[in-house]
Amino acid sequence: MASAVTFVDAWIPELIEPGSVLLINNTSDDLGSGSSFCALLNCPNCGRMEVLTEDQFAGRIPVVCGGVDCPAQFYLRDGKTIYASVGRS
Ligand SMILES: [Zn+2]
């Protein structure tokens, strides 16, 4: 199961839908001072706002929704959310 991620230019509540992603800052440098990466995701399952790490944004590690009743766990890949698992047994 996969659904499209929508990249938005601003976090305007009226325009945010489940699966919306806002890339706030993606400036990293090679000087060892670290990355100031910052991105937000609206959970495609429950609509909860999550802060994404650079690894999550790049699809290297899964996004796990922090919603109490939300089982969403997925990867962001190629502009889509790829679900690693959905539903609790
Ligand atoms: Zn969720």
User: Distance from the CA of 47 to the center of ligand 1, in angstroms?
Assistant: 6
pLDDT (tens, 9 = 90+) of the chain, 89 residues, equals 578 899 999 999 898 999 999 999 887 666 666 668 889 999 999 999 999 999 999 999 999 999 999 999 999 998 898 887 655 44
How confident is the model at residue 63, as a pLDDT? 94
User: Distance from the CA of 6 to the center of ligand 1, in angstroms?
Assistant: 16
User: Distance from the CA of 87 to the center of ligand 1, in angstroms?
Assistant: 11
User: Distance from the CA of 17 to the center of ligand 1, in angstroms?
Assistant: 12
The residues pairing with 82 across neighbouring beta strands, listed in sequence order, are 2, 75
User: Distance from the CA of 7 to the center of ligand 1, in angstroms?
Assistant: 17
How confident is the model at residue 29, as a pLDDT? 61
51 dihedral zone (left: phi>0; alpha: psi -120 to 50; beta): beta
The amino acid occupying position 60 is R
37-70 burial, b for 16+ CB within 10 Å, e for fewer? bbbbbbbbbeebebebeeebbebeebbbbeeeeb
How confident is the model at residue 42, as a pLDDT? 95
